[in-house]
């Protein structure tokens, strides 16, 4: 019977988690000499690599001194809360990775809080101690204070700290004495993290995540809680509604290195993948055939935002995407719900429109970005916050917002946040930056990042996490400026864009195809303005001296997907195709807009 350690890694975006796992894998010599691979093995989808965030947790295992260490990667973002909780259920300990300069960040706090509640034993790794201005001892104190504030037990507060630089491939118990390998960390894992408990008795396994293969269908992944699972055995699947379904295990696989290996049986404490089971959900229990006992289900945080998803019906529909019909959209959203626990999809009275609920702008934008890369065309409406009614009082979700900003811009940031009903809680220097903490309604965050980055010349670092539902704070001013709207369909000309430059900022450039009703710029005033950018210059055969100068046009304003989602107004939609992101009015015809706008 081999000894197993199951450990989850918690770290903030960009603190070096994925690099550290790469180094652990190297240290245990999993790769054969002939195998070539890229860096950042874990961030395997393009979107994760580009954004530098982990969205879907992955499992890797290494062997060290006859012990098998299962490393479970956790998402580092509060928007993926559903994912975090499930992952921690499989672990017996956590590796908390913090940057030696930045220290623990607000979103690390979210995941760490869940781990502390579950009673997991932590090991703290202070990474990047080779950077200048780093302050490893202070960061160690900060982690202790954070654990204390999260109500950690005596045993959890007595944590081991390892210092090092995963980029340079070394770890040590003393940051002033670098080593040349990362074995001190592996030794600490084996000493500190308790072995996976192996209970005897009838088999039990909770399904905590799933995988999909086009050959065998859906694959259930989880940790065996008790007993032994056997290949070919008949089992019971305990569902959410209390019903029990009889199923048969076709194949069992355990994680070995970066892949999976087929085995005949899996005993308690090991994480495994089961194929051949149909109709399961995350949270269901695989139990004994004769007397099944379900495990307690995982409670998932509720969504705080919703958005309208609808098919693309703009004049340019179907030009760039493969999947454009409502059936495609519907199937894709329901497929996503199977994996993405914090997501909810409701049908509306129109068959081509769905209401999608998620944990925040990032959570929803990752789904939209994934879909457009797969070839979908769709339109989404303005993100809306979900309100609740408690004892006759209107409640709204509140978030804890942390901004680190250069001192000279702190005043502007405070002003922007307080305009949106944010309350300043803490203001203190942190290195050469001002550290600000606020409580702010979730709806106040929509569009805030854009304004803060503009006001601070892009130097602000913002993070936020959901706290709780609190009484409604009153109206928040939205975007002040109106939109510039295209009057006709066709490519814009440099001549007409040049003549209209004093009217506002354009989002399109000469030669770009636009259609009637498309939002092509931001008006310099509060009202919307319909403009004609297709007009060419009237040509004559007379040369007017001095008037034929070259046209000088300000470059167009580019939006990322999240910025565009935050920018649009109530009466606007965002058209998303594999190649373009366009903003448009819901009613393209100006007369229709007037008719519906005055009601």
508 shares a domain with 539: yes
Indicate whether 418 and 276 sit together in one domain.
Answer: no
- 527 annotated ligand-binding residue: no
Residue 283 near residue 299 (C-beta atoms within 8 A)? no
- 130 known member of a binding site: yes
- Rounded to whole angstroms, the Cα distance separating 218 from 274 reads 9
Residue 74 within any structural domain of the chain? yes
Q: Does residue 93 share a domain with residue 61?
A: yes
Is 22 marked as binding a ligand? no
432 plus 487 within the same structural domain:
no
Distance CA 483, CA 572 (A): 10
- Quote the CA–CA distance of 38 and 501 in Å, as a whole number: 47
Entry field: residues in the chain: 599
Residue 145 assigned ligand-binding role: no
Are 73 and 101 within one domain? yes
Residue 211 is predicted with a pLDDT of 74
Task: Give yes or no for a contact between 364 and 412, defined as CB atoms under 8 angstroms apart.
Answer: no
Q: Is 16 annotated as a binding residue?
A: yes
56 is in an annotated binding site: no
540 and 430: one domain? no
CA-wise closest residue to 86 among 215, 218, 232, 220: 220
Give 210's strand partners: 220
Cα dihedral across residues 276, 277, 283, 287: positive or negative: negative
**3-state DSSP call for residue 154?**
helix
Which residue, of 172, 192, 212, is where some domain finishes? 192
98 and 58 in a common domain: yes
- 94 belongs to a structural domain: yes
Residue 591 belongs to what domain range? 483-597
Q: Does residue 489 sit within a domain? A: yes
Q: Residue 46: which of 36, 56, 37 has the closest Cα?
A: 56
Decide which of 167, 192, 217 is a domain's last residue: 192
Instruction: Find, among 415, 505, 521, 412, the residue nearest to 457 by Cα.
Output: 412
Boundary (domain end) residue, out of 132, 163, 192: 192
Asked if residue 274 and residue 394 are part of one domain, the reply reads no
pLDDT at 379: 92
Residue 514: in which H helix or E strand, if any? Answer: strand 513-514
The residues of the chain scoring below 50 in pLDDT are 30-44, 54-55
Query: Are 34 and 176 contained in the same domain?
Result: yes
Tell me: is residue 161 an annotated ligand-binding position: no
Residue 229 covered by a domain: yes
pTM above 0.75, yes or no: no
Q: Is 346 annotated as a binding residue?
A: no
Residue 509 lies in a domain: yes
Do 11 and 128 lie in one domain? The reply is yes
Judge whether 326 lies within some domain. Answer: no
In this predicted model, what pLDDT tens digit does every residue of 561-588 receive, in sequence order?
888 888 888 888 999 999 989 999 988 8
Number of domains in the chain: 4
> Looking at residue 496, which CATH number applies to its domain?
2.40.50.250
Q: What is the CATH number of the domain that holds 450?
A: 3.30.70.240
15 labeled binding residue:
yes
353 is in an annotated binding site: no
Same domain, 230 and 179: no
Contacts of 158 (CB under 8 A, 6+ apart): none
CATH code (residue 171): 3.40.50.300
CB-count exposure of residue 424 (10 Å: 0-12, 13-18, 19+): middle
Does any domain span residue 380?
Answer: no
Tokens of 419: 């305009």
Q: What is the pLDDT of residue 34?
A: 40
Kindly report, residue by residue over 4-37, the tens digit of the pLDDT. Answer: 888 888 776 666 777 777 777 777 664 444 444 4
Residue 129 lies in a domain: yes
Q: Are residues 503 and 561 in the same domain?
A: yes
């Amino acid at each position: 019977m081999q000894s197993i350690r199951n450990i989850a890694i918690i770290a903030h975006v960009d603190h070096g988690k994925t690099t550290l796992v790469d180094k652990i894998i190297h240290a245990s010599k999993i790769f054969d000499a002939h195998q070539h691979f890229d860096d950042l093995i874990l961030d395997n989808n393009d979107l994760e690599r580009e954004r530098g965030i982990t969205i879907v947790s992955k499992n890797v295992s290494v062997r060290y001194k006859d012990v098998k260490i299962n490393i479970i990667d956790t998402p580092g973002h509060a928007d993926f809360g559903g994912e975090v909780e499930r992952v921690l259920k499989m672990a017996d300990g956590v590796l908390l990775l913090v940057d030696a300069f930045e220290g623990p960040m607000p979103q690390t706090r979210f995941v760490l809080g869940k781990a502390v509640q579950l009673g997991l034993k932590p090991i703290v790794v202070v990474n990047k101690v080779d950077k200048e201005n780093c302050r490893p001892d202070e960061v160690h104190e900060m982690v202790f204070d954070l654990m204390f504030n999260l109500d950690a037990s005596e045993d959890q507060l007595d944590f081991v700290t390892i210092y090092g630089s995963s980029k340079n491939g070394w770890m040590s118990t003393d940051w002033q004495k670098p080593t040349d390998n990362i074995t001190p960390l592996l030794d600490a894992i084996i000493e500190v993290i308790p072995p996976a408990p192996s209970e005897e008795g009838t088999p039990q396994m909770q399904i905590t995540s799933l995988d999909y293969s086009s050959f065998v269908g859906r694959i259930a992944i989880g940790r065996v809680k008790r007993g032994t699972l056997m290949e070919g055995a008949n089992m019971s699947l305990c569902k959410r509604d209390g019903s029990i379904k009889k199923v048969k295990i076709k194949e069992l696989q355990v994680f070995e290195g970066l892949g999976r290996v087929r085995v005949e049986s899996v005993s308690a404490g090991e994480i495994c993948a089961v194929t051949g089971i149909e109709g399961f959900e995350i949270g269901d229990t695989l139990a004994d055939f004769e007397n099944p006992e379900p495990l307690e289900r995982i409670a998932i945080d509720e969504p705080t935002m919703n958005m309208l998803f609808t098919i693309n019906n703009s004049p340019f529909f179907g030009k760039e995407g493969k999947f454009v019909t409502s059936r495609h959209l519907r199937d894709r959203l329901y497929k996503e719900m199977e994996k993405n626990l914090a997501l909810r999809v409701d049908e509306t009275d129109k068959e081509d429109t769905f209401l999608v609920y998620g944990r925040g702008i990032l959570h929803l934008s990752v789904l939209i970005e994934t879909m457009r890369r797969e070839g979908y065309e769709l339109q989404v409406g303005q993100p809306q916050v979900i309100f609740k009614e408690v004892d006759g009082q209107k409640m709204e979700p509140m978030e804890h917002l942390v901004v680190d900003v250069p001192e000279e811009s702190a005043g502007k940031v405070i002003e922007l946040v307080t305009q949106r009903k944010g309350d300043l809680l803490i203001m203190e220097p942190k290195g050469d930056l001002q550290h600000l903490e606020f409580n702010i309604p979730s709806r106040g965050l929509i569009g805030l990042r854009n304004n803060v980055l503009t006001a601070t010349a892009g130097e602000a670092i913002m993070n936020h996490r959901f706290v709780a539902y609190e009484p409604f704070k009153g109206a928040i001013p939205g975007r002040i400026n109106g939109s510039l709207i295209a009057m006709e369909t066709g490519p814009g000309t440099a001549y007409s864009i040049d003549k209209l430059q004093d009217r506002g900022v354009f989002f399109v450039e000469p030669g770009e195809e636009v259609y009637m009703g498309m939002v092509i710029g931001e008006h310099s005033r509060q009202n919307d303005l319909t403009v004609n950018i297709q007009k060419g210059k009237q040509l004559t055969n007379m040369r007017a001296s001095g008037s034929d100068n070259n046209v000088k046009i300000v470059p167009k304003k580019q939006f990322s997907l999240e910025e565009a989602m935050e920018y649009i107004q109530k009466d606007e939609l965002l058209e998303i195709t594999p190649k373009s992101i366009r903003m448009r009015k819901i009613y393209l015809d100006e007369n229709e807009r007037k008719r519906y706008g005055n009601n």
